[in-house]
Amino acid sequence: MFQNDGRISVLGMGISMQQDIYNVLNSILVKIFNDILSIEQKALIVDEFSDITVTDMHIIDAVGNGEARTMSQISKTLEVTMGTLTIGINGLVKKGYVERRRGEKDRRIVYASLTDKGRRAYDHHRQFHKDMVSSVMNGLSEEEAKVLAKTMTKLDNFFEELKKYE
């Protein structure tokens, strides 16, 4: 795949025979970022879940399939304000995906948990991600998988650094 002159040959990806590594990586990253929401929308929002958005699905994922979580915990997970989360949760409560209750000891604390319908959506979302990772990992050697994980971690670290300046 790599040429001696530091260039990469990528065949079967809709990319010309040889481009420098920077241009290939930039093209791939831009395409992935542009495609993710569109592809996820089509894969996740099937008939049973046609009344919600990908954003709703991510709220469902953050609520989780286990114990009820506080609105504060969920907002921190999603990195959104409580106001933004409240709007999203309100819609999911109305649509029957999430139930909300106040704490017994401290009524100021609001807990959210998934209904049966919410758990089905959660499982559907998790399966999409499992299939996506399996597809990426399919055919990779252990060493290639380690290099990919290291590379994706570096990309994640880059984004985490950018968040500090928001």
Count of beta carbons in the 10 Å neighbourhood of residue 52: 21
Report the predicted TM-score, pTM, of the whole model to 2 decimal places.
Answer: 0.74
Give the residue, 18 or 51, on which the prediction is more confident.
Answer: 51
How confident is the model over 40-84, as pLDDT tens digits? 777 877 778 889 988 999 999 999 988 999 999 999 999 999 999
Least confident of 20-24, 50-54, 108-112: 20-24
Q: Give the sheet arrangement for strand 98-102, strand by strand.
A: 69-70, 110-114, 98-102
How confident is the model over 85-108, as pLDDT tens digits? 999 999 999 999 999 999 999 999
Grade residue 5 by pLDDT with cuts at 50, 70 and 90: very low
How confident is the model over 118-158, as pLDDT tens digits? 999 999 989 988 998 899 899 999 999 999 999 989 988 98
What's the pLDDT score for residue 13? 52
Query: Which residues touch 113 (CB under 8 Å, ≥6 apart)?
Result: 63, 67, 68, 69, 98, 99, 101
Q: Are 89 and 59 in contact (CB under 8 A)?
A: yes
Q: Are 56 and 91 in contact (CB under 8 A)?
A: yes
Q: Domains of the chain by range and CATH?
A: 1-44 (no CATH), 45-163 (1.10.10.10)
What's the pLDDT score for residue 24? 81
Q: What residues pair up with 111 in beta bridges, in sequence order?
A: 70, 101
Q: Are 60 and 128 in contact (CB under 8 A)?
A: no
Residue identified by tokens 């996820």 is: 40
How large is the average pLDDT for residues 11-20? Answer: 52
